[in-house]
Amino acid sequence: MKKILVVDDEAMMLMLTKKILSENYQVICASSGKEAINIYAGEMPDMILSDLLMPEMSGFEMHKILEAKYGHIPIMFMTADESGETEGKGFELGADDFIRKPFRRDVLLKRVENILNNIERISSLTTEATIDGLTGFYNKVFVTSKLDELCKTAVGTLLLIDMDSFKLVNDIYGHEAGDKLLIAFADIIGNNTGEEDVIGRIGGDEFVAFCRGITDEKTIAGIVRRINEQLVSRAKSIMGNDMNIPVGVSVGAVFVPKQGKDYASLFNMADKALYFVKQNEKHGYAIYMQKYSESEENGETAEQVMHRLSMIFEERNISDAAFWLGQDSFAQVYRFMMRYIQSYRSTAYKALFTVTPRKKDLKESDASAIIEQFGSILNHSLRKSDIMMQNGYNQFFIFLPEMTSQNIEKVLGRVIERWNCMEYSKIAEVSYITEEICADDLDERERRRK
């Protein structure tokens, strides 16, 4: 319920106003400007409704004192003065509205409602302009402006924070899971930084944070370690304990003002430190040192470039399961494999599995759990070299390179056999179709297209 502070030195008017507003709002009363100033600090009302002419301190004077201390405060003045000059002065000083005494109940309620609705609209627009909708942190434009000023005067550490392997989460588990993990990541960052620290989202999975008062490496190491541990735990709670994506966090850090006060320069330093972490197996932190810039200026050898690119592209912690991809990534790999088969005269198989509930009235949540369980069984029944994707709600498309006609039924039969051992198999049926891919067929398709 919105809170309104009513200020009037006339007891009867104060009581009448309170009675009218109490139907829709929480009302606090003050009989003078001085009393209102004292009450405001403890109550922090949404707006003030004040008599204009009061002994010792006018409504204008009270409003001026409050705004000097708290910033803009929505206020409507009550007055019996018919002078338009008074209204003009009031609006110049920041009044939101005037109402003349004696007033009608419906007019008072409508004008108060208009002021409060306008406050909400302004607040909503301000939020949209400054806050990232998904994470609740500052957006890139606002946090850049804020940190540009903060770095000139504050003492602390600027952190550039990047989630490792986030793209794989989107590719394998979908963007809904990716958004959940991103929200969890933001929550973890917030829990491991202070209330006075400034945090913003500057990219898809990249954040910047200014941690006030932190000037030692030991504290930074502790923050990064906790974020890494908590992120893995939250990722498994979202995607399941069999999640084998190497999620984690890489952090580049720079001390302020020890290493500078200009935000753009500091950001560039932190970015170079982050790049160093990404090159060196990720899941850690680096504090900017001059050598990062020197190595960049001196250039890299071909061997260093190859090592760096390999570190970026290589898969860590390779599991024994098939490679589960999102549709876009699967399409790229599939097209490459078609070229490979045609060029090297190889063979492969593709298969489409369909999961069909045996009961038509099965709850959607139960059906989703069953389909998810089958996807996990399929994933862990295939080879490391196989790739798979989920197609729509209840289908899985798989590609099995170097697979022969003698082995295909044996491999896929093993999937069905494992499924039939599960309790879920009594609730849903699994079927599949297969198709062989060979170089001769691809040659024929190419001739037809020409």
pLDDT digits (tens, 9 = 90+) for 31-45: 999 999 999 988 999
Task: State whether 101 and 205 are in the same domain.
Answer: no
Please give the full DSSP string across 249-265, using - where no structure is assigned: EEEEEEEETTT-S-HHH
Task: State whether 147 and 226 are in the same domain.
Answer: yes
In a domain, 177, yes or no: yes
Task: State whether 148 and 286 are in the same domain.
Answer: yes
Task: State whether 64 and 171 are in the same domain.
Answer: no
Write down which residue in 287, 313, 339 finishes a domain. 313
- pLDDT tier at 53, thresholds 50, 70, 90: confident
- Which CATH number belongs to the domain containing residue 37 in this structure? 3.40.50.2300
- pLDDT tier at 359, thresholds 50, 70, 90: confident
| Least confident residue range of 64-78, 108-122, 294-308 | 294-308
* Amino acid (1-letter code) at residue 96: D
Which phi and psi (to 5°) does residue 243 adopt? -60, 125
pLDDT higher than 70, residue 357: yes
Please work out, in degrees rounded to the nearest 5, the angle formed at the alpha carbon of residue 354 by the alpha carbons of 352 and 360. 165
Task: State whether 293 and 328 are in the same domain.
Answer: no
Task: State whether 43 and 90 are in the same domain.
Answer: yes
pLDDT digits (tens, 9 = 90+) for 298-350: 556 677 667 656 655 555 445 667 888 887 788 889 999 999 999 999 999 99
In a domain, 318, yes or no: no
Q: Give me the number of domains the chain comprises.
A: 3
Residue 181 belongs to domain spanning? 140-313
pLDDT digits (tens, 9 = 90+) for 213-246: 999 999 999 999 999 999 999 999 998 887 878 8
Task: State whether 61 and 201 are in the same domain.
Answer: no
The pLDDT value recorded for residue 83 is 61
Phi-psi region of 282 (alpha: psi -120 to 50; beta: other; left: phi over 0): left
- Decide the pairing of beta strands 387-391 and 323-324: parallel
Three-class DSSP category at 32? coil
pLDDT higher than 80, residue 80: no
Task: State whether 443 and 372 are in the same domain.
Answer: yes
| Least confident residue range of 211-225, 249-263, 280-294, 357-371 | 280-294
pLDDT digits (tens, 9 = 90+) for 107-117: 899 989 988 88
The pLDDT value recorded for residue 295 is 47
The pLDDT value recorded for residue 29 is 95
Q: What are the CA-CA distances from residue 198 to residues 141, 231, 250 (Å)?
A: 13, 20, 19
The pLDDT value recorded for residue 119 is 74
Task: State whether 125 and 219 are in the same domain.
Answer: no
- Which CATH number belongs to the domain containing residue 183 in this structure? 3.30.70.270
Q: How far is 131 from 141, CA to CA, in rounded Å?
A: 10
Q: In what order do the strands lie in the sheet with 97-100?
A: 26-30, 3-7, 47-51, 75-79, 97-100
Residue range 234-263: mean pLDDT, rounded: 90
Task: State whether 145 and 292 are in the same domain.
Answer: yes
Please give the full DSSP string across 344-361, using - where no structure is assigned: HT-EEEEEEEEEEES-TT
What are the percentages of helix, strand and coil residues in the chain, rounded to 5? 50, 20, 25
In a domain, 169, yes or no: yes
- pLDDT tier at 183, thresholds 50, 70, 90: very high
Write down which residue in 255, 290, 313 finishes a domain. 313
The pLDDT value recorded for residue 126 is 46
- CB-based contacts of 273-281 (< 8 A; 24+ apart in sequence): 273/160, 274/160, 274/162, 274/250, 276/252, 277/250, 277/251, 277/252, 278/162, 278/164, 278/250, 278/311, 278/312, 279/308, 279/311, 279/312, 280/311, 281/311, 281/316
Task: State whether 119 and 206 are in the same domain.
Answer: no
Contact of 330 with 389, CB cutoff 8 Å: yes
The answer to whether the Cα torsion of 18, 24, 28, 33 is positive or negative is negative
In a domain, 11, yes or no: yes
Q: How far is 269 from 77, CA to CA, in rounded Å?
A: 53
Task: State whether 158 and 260 are in the same domain.
Answer: yes
Residue 359 tokens, joined: 């009961």
The mean pLDDT value of the chain amounts to 86
In a domain, 148, yes or no: yes
Q: How far is 227 from 191, CA to CA, in rounded Å?
A: 9
Write down which residue in 313, 334, 359 finishes a domain. 313
- pLDDT tier at 259, thresholds 50, 70, 90: very high
In a domain, 339, yes or no: yes
Radius of gyration of the chain, Cα coordinates, nearest whole angstrom? 32
Which phi and psi (to 5°) does residue 162 adopt? -130, 130
DSSP 425: G
For the entire predicted model, the pTM comes to 0.47
In a domain, 245, yes or no: yes
pLDDT higher than 50, residue 297: no
| Least confident residue range of 7-21, 164-178, 285-299 | 285-299
* Amino acid (1-letter code) at residue 334: Y
In a domain, 134, yes or no: no
Residue range 181-194: mean pLDDT, rounded: 93
The pLDDT value recorded for residue 168 is 84
- Residue that wins the pLDDT comparison between 129 and 130: 130
Q: How far is 326 from 167, CA to CA, in rounded Å?
A: 10
- pLDDT tier at 85, thresholds 50, 70, 90: low
Residue range 127-143: mean pLDDT, rounded: 80
pLDDT higher than 60, residue 363: yes
